Amino acid sequence: MLPFRDRNPSGCVPYVTWAVIIANVLVFAAFYPLGTDASVARIYHDWGLIPDRFLRGDGLVTPLTAMFVHGGWIHLALNMLFLRVFGDNLEAELGSLRFGLFYLACGIVAFALQVLAEPSSPVAIAGASGAVAGVMGGYLLMFPRARVEMLLWYVVGLRVVAVPAWALLGAWFVVQVAGGMTTPADGGVAFWAHVGGFLAGVALCSRTWRLRGGRIFWRRFGGVPPHPTAQVVIPVVRRRGAAPLPPAQPNGLFRR
């Protein structure tokens, strides 16, 4: 099952989301497709976060650089797909600048939890997975009932199914926790980075969620992102017997 879009257009251009996607693709294209095994390994060593090295005070900028280094086409494609699906609505709600800072903060927290889980590991951690997990966590808090379309593969073909975000993202989080608890330390997936990023996303979005009204925000919009073309009905009070006003004509000055 692969999520590929949600049913909630944001109504705005997600500049930061697209900028992050482009940056990741450009970095990957610069070192991976034409690189040799030695040159690619060098990038992982220099730009990836190595817990043992980091705790010795070396490579202190690697929590930032590691977010833009991926281990293959599938790794890159899945991270960027998830960011595109869930990033635009969250960016619309937080604002582009705050969303950019939120993304970086989630990535840093994600790496921090993975380092705490495996402090002596000499293996480089790389990828945007932790930061993207933060976007997923924030999306879950803000829009739990949003419908996400997924490609379901079965024996004779493909089918598109729509599931609520709380079910998809909640199940994903449970899988990450289970993976972190059962996978050996030298496993190939940084499960605790995913867990840390997801929890950071929920925590960092909690204030915005409360300012929007918390549960009232959920009830008002049904737990989905506010639709950009939604009409706001404003009651008009007039004296008894007065003639009704003609319908207002759109003047192009306001957009919701």
pLDDT at position 129 is 96
Q: Which helix (H) or strand (E) segment is 162 a member of? A: strand 157-164
Q: Which residue's structure tokens are 């940084």?
A: 190
Spatial distance between the Cα atoms of 111 and 67, rounded to a whole number of angstroms: 9
How many Cα neighbours within 13 Å face the side chain of 149? 9
Query: Residue 216: how many CB atoms within 10 A of its CB?
Result: 9
Question: Residue-wise pLDDT tens for the chain (256 aa)?
Answer: 789 899 888 888 999 999 999 999 999 999 999 999 999 999 999 999 999 999 999 999 999 999 999 999 999 999 999 999 999 999 999 999 999 999 999 999 999 999 999 999 999 999 999 999 999 999 999 999 999 999 988 777 788 899 999 999 999 999 999 999 998 766 788 999 999 999 999 999 999 999 999 999 999 999 999 865 444 333 434 445 544 444 444 443 333 4
pLDDT at position 188 is 82
Sorted by sequence, the CB contacts under 8 Å of residue 110 that are 6+ apart come out as: 129, 130, 131, 133, 134, 193, 194, 196, 197, 200
